[in-house]
């Protein structure tokens, strides 16, 4: 069976790409002036200057504003807005405007509307109602991009191109006839013959064997569960279809402009439709949108994970926080306002993890439309408000951090993460629905985070040779070649921590026989014979007294492997729960640790601390779940970020210049409850 093409982008090498160049850390927002009378624009620009805003995204949803049914594009209003911004020294992050087709277009061409898995159409009246594979939509969109890029391709105000908006936020998976045809074409490219497709999807089971490509459909709703190989390939196809759209817009822009091109990613907990490992190499600079999600157990830790992952997508380079919120969003069941100081903490937590821009959705709170109760920099209450004062304080704080721009976050720990594994793990039929992939990843990441361990989140298959510790949380799907990089890292002296459910299936979602985790059985010296998850609410105990939940499994170990802890009760009572194979890849190599259950948070933290210490990984003194401490370094400079989310002040050893308050730190720094401090460390490299 041929290996599926790994989702590697055929993009220009990074060195040949235009770079996003900006004076210091950018501070800005989405600006949707089409909602306002031109008299408001002038006040807006004056307030932007007051707040220190220097990068503004416009024309994000501009299509209906710019172009009518006759096809003519009227740039007069956009010209005026761009000139106003330019005159005020504010740079423009220019949208192509194609995010949402105007009603005249969908009325004329209803075939561009997306179709859901149940065969129902999604109609205009919201946003992003278009099929990613529609050639008709593409034609109209590219014509608009061409007009916009011709007009502003070398405008001195424009700093960056912003393709569409959050591609795939709502329309990633379309099942219309056009998408079905495109899916078949994609499958032919990947699998070659219908026999290979049958083998890859295991269609011998349940009488699913295909005899012709025309029989193959997108995974529409069925009366039972669907073929998981088909669902997985559809996820890949859907991600590629939107990437192709991005690429098409970017190509048009590049015909008229030498400026950098990006689009805003959604590296976040609730959207998982795009494999950003394949997208990232096509970005001139990586940009992300992030909103705190209060439906999660630890929203702040998720922010840190998303920021580390975005930095991974940027190959460690600085990236842009393109959107976050000053306060509440409007799309969660209960939309929490931020506490005083929380906006600053959230913003600088992103900077601490590599962001070189702090931008928001949106500038001025809408009075109408779906997002009128979404927070903004200028709230409904206007500038005479506590929120506006916090915005101006944040603008000033960001300006004081300008010198941090361009530095990078250093880390000795790699956490492997993959969207493909997410799709494969969270399938319809699986051992337990009580634990999703991302929850598993967050649990393990959270333990490292709370220990003050700096982590890079990287793509499976990345070069791991510079890391002291490689962590593989629940990486259900992994290619053989990618799995070997973990073995190689261990052979080179790194420790590895692999947790349950990892390495079970290959890229075709096919189980590796002989005992789990097939991909790393030999490295770990274990053989899991049977999964034995437990019901939510069932407590598991280990011999050491540690507590666990949700997952147990029946495992045997080889002679070379030490049992660190055993299940004291539950379906695997008496069997190993945690193992360690010392010098797992021969003399001088690192140790391979395996965790076969979901430890309770404090026990997981203690276990992680043991491995971190064994691997010789540094923990930031003073860091905890409430106090994030990270470093950005470069050009002989080192900046220590201390973000105190807690209710108590903390004192940390430090020496140098503190940038937020502009004070000298001579040995110790007090960081009050809720405050952020950034120390340019003296004598540090």
**Burial, 393: exposed, middle or buried (Cβ in 10 Å; 0-12, 13-18, 19+)?**
middle
Chain center to CA of 673: 29
Residue 476's contacts (CB-CB under 8 Å, 6 or more residues apart) are 421, 424, 425, 437, 501, 502, 503, 504, 505
Q: Quick one: 175 or 338, whose CB is closer to ligand GLA?
A: 338
CB 30 to ligand GLA: min, Å: 6
Give the span between the Cα atoms of 553 and 576, in whole angstroms: 9
Catalytic residue among 166, 282, 553, 658: 166
CB 391 to ligand GLA: min, Å: 17
Q: Quick one: 60 or 665, whose CB is closer to ligand GLA?
A: 60
* By the rule CB under 6 A, 291 interacts with ligand GLA: yes
* Beta bridge partners of residue 670, listed in sequence order: 651
* By the rule CB under 6 A, 273 interacts with ligand GLA: no
Pick the closest to residue 305 from 259, 375, 252, 354 (CA basis).
Answer: 354
Q: Please say whether the beta carbons of 633 and 685 come within 8 A.
A: yes
Q: Quick one: 126 or 574, whose CB is closer to ligand GLA?
A: 126
Q: Quick one: 152 or 361, whose CB is closer to ligand GLA?
A: 361
Pick the closest to residue 464 from 482, 489, 484 (CA basis).
Answer: 489
Map tokens 């569409």 to a residue. 164
Site for ligand GLA in 11-50 (CB under 6 A): none
What does the per-residue mask of binding to ligand GLA show for 364-383, with x meaning CB under 6 A? -------x--x---------
Q: Quick one: 372 or 668, whose CB is closer to ligand GLA?
A: 372
Q: Quick one: 322 or 564, whose CB is closer to ligand GLA?
A: 322
CB 454 to ligand GLA: min, Å: 27
CB 377 to ligand GLA: min, Å: 13
Q: Of the candidates 183, 186, 305, 361, which one interacts with ligand GLA according to CB under 6 A? A: 361
Pick the closest to residue 591 from 508, 524, 503, 680 (CA basis).
Answer: 524
| Residue 681 backbone dihedrals phi, psi, to 5 degrees | -80, 135
Distances (CA, A) of 45 to 25, 61, 82: 19, 19, 11
CB 374 to ligand GLA: min, Å: 5
CB 142 to ligand GLA: min, Å: 21
Give the span between the Cα atoms of 474 and 223, in whole angstroms: 30
Residue 642 structure tokens = 């201390």
Total site size for ligand GLA, rule CB under 6 A: 9
Q: How many CA atoms lie within 13 A of 132 on its CB side?
A: 28
Residue 459's contacts (CB-CB under 8 Å, 6 or more residues apart) are 277, 312, 416, 417, 418
Catalytic residue among 249, 282, 323, 553: 323
* Beta bridge partners of residue 151, listed in sequence order: none
SS (H, E, C) 496-518: EEEECCCCCECCCCCECCCCECC
Q: Quick one: 361 or 516, whose CB is closer to ligand GLA?
A: 361
CB 421 to ligand GLA: min, Å: 25
Site for ligand GLA in 319-338 (CB under 6 A): 323, 329
Distances (CA, A) of 335 to 205, 286, 292, 327, 374: 46, 28, 10, 9, 9
390 flagged as catalytic: no
| Residue 562 backbone dihedrals phi, psi, to 5 degrees | -95, 135
Beta strands 627-634 and 637-644 are antiparallel
* Alpha-carbon torsion (45, 48, 53, 59), positive or negative: negative
What does the per-residue mask of binding to ligand GLA show for 488-527, with x meaning CB under 6 A? ----------------------------------------
Helix (H, G, I), strand (E, B) or coil at 97: coil
Q: Of the candidates 284, 289, 412, 628, which one interacts with ligand GLA according to CB under 6 A? A: 289
* By the rule CB under 6 A, 445 interacts with ligand GLA: no
166 flagged as catalytic: yes
- Cis check: omega of the bond before 368, within 30 degrees of 0: no
Q: Quick one: 165 or 579, whose CB is closer to ligand GLA?
A: 165
Q: Of the candidates 67, 165, 310, 342, which one interacts with ligand GLA according to CB under 6 A? A: 165
* By the rule CB under 6 A, 275 interacts with ligand GLA: no
CB 164 to ligand GLA: min, Å: 10
Q: Quick one: 317 or 371, whose CB is closer to ligand GLA?
A: 371
CB 289 to ligand GLA: min, Å: 4
* By the rule CB under 6 A, 166 interacts with ligand GLA: yes
Give the span between the Cα atoms of 485 and 489, in whole angstroms: 6
**Which residues of the chain form contacts with ligand GLA (CB under 6 A)?**
165-166, 289, 291, 323, 329, 361, 371, 374
Catalytic residue list: 166, 323
């Amino acid at each position: 069976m041929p290996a599926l093409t790994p989702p590697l982008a055929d993009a220009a090498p990074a060195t040949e790409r235009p770079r996003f160049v900006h004076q210091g850390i950018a501070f800005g927002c989405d600006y949707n002036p089409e909602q306002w009378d031109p008299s408001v624009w002038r006040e807006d620009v004056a307030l932007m200057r007051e707040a220190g805003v220097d990068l503004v995204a416009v024309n994000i949803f501009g299509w209906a504003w710019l172009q009518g049914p006759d096809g003519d594009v009227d740039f007069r209003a956009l010209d005026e807005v761009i000139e106003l911004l330019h005159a005020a020294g504010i740079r423009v992050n220019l949208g192509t405007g194609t995010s949402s087709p105007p009603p005249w277009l969908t009325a004329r061409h209803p075939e561009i509307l997306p179709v859901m898995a149940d065969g129902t159409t999604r109609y205009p009246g919201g946003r992003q109602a278009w099929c990613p594979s529609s050639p008709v939509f593409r034609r109209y969109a590219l014509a608009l991009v061409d007009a916009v890029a011709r007009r502003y391709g070398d405008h001195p105000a424009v700093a960056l191109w912003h393709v569409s908006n959050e591609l795939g936020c709502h329309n990633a998976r379309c099942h219309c006839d056009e998408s079905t045809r495109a899916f078949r074409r994609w499958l032919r490219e990947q699998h070659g013959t219908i026999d290979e497709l049958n083998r890859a999807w295991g269609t011998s089971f349940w009488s699913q064997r295909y005899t012709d490509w025309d029989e193959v459909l997108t995974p529409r709703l069925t009366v039972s569960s669907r073929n998981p190989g088909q669902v997985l390939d559809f996820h890949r196809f859907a991600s590629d279809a939107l990437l192709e759209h991005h690429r098409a817009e970017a190509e048009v822009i590049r015909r008229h402009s030498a400026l950098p091109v990006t689009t805003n990613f959604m590296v976040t907990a609730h959207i998982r439709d795009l494999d950003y490992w394949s997208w990232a190499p096509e970005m001139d600079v990586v940009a992300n949108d992030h909103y705190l999600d209060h439906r999660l157990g630890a929203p702040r830790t998720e922010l840190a994970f998303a920021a580390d992952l975005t930095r991974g997508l940027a190959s460690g380079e600085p990236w842009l926080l393109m959107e976050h919120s000053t306060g509440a969003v409007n799309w969660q069941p209960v939309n929490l306002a931020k506490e005083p100081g929380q906006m600053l903490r959230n913003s600088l937590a992103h900077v601490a993890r590599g962001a070189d821009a702090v931008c928001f959705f949106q500038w001025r709170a809408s009075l109408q439309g779906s997002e009128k109760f979404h927070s903004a920099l200028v709230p409904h209450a206007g500038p005479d408000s506590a929120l506006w004062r916090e915005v101006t304080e944040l603008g000033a704080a960001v300006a004081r951090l300008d010198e941090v721009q361009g530095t990078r976050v250093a880390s000795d720990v790699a956490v492997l993460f993959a969207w493909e594994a997410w799709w494969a793990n969270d399938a319809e039929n699986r051992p337990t629905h009580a634990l999703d992939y991302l929850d598993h990843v967050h649990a393990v990441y959270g333990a490292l985070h709370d220990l003050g361990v700096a982590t890079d989140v990287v793509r499976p298959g990345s070069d791991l040779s510079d890391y002291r510790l490689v962590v593989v949380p629940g990486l259900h799907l992994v290619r053989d070649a990618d799995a070997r990089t973990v073995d190689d890292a261990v052979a080179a002296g790194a420790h590895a921590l692999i947790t349950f459910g990892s390495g079970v299936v290959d890229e075709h979602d096919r189980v590796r026989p002989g005992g789990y985790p097939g991909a790393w059985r030999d490295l770990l010296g274990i053989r899991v014979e049977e999964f034995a998850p437990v019901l939510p609410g069932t407590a598991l105990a280990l011999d050491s007294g540690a507590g666990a939940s949700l997952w147990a499994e029946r495992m045997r170990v080889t002679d070379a492997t030490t049992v660190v802890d055993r299940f004291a009760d539950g379906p695997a009572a008496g069997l190993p729960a945690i193992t360690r194979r010392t010098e797992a890849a021969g003399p001088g190599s690192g140790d391979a640790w395996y965790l076969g259950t979901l430890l309770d948070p404090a026990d997981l933290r203690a276990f992680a601390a043991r491995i971190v210490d064994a691997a010789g990984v540094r923990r930031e003194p003073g860091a905890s779940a409430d106090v994030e401490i990270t470093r950005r370094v470069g050009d002989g400079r080192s900046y220590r970020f201390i973000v105190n989310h807690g209710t108590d002040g903390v004192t940390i050893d430090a020496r140098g210049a503190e940038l937020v308050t502009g004070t000298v730190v001579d040995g110790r720094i007090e960081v009050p409850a809720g405050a952020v401090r950034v120390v340019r460390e003296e004598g540090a490299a």
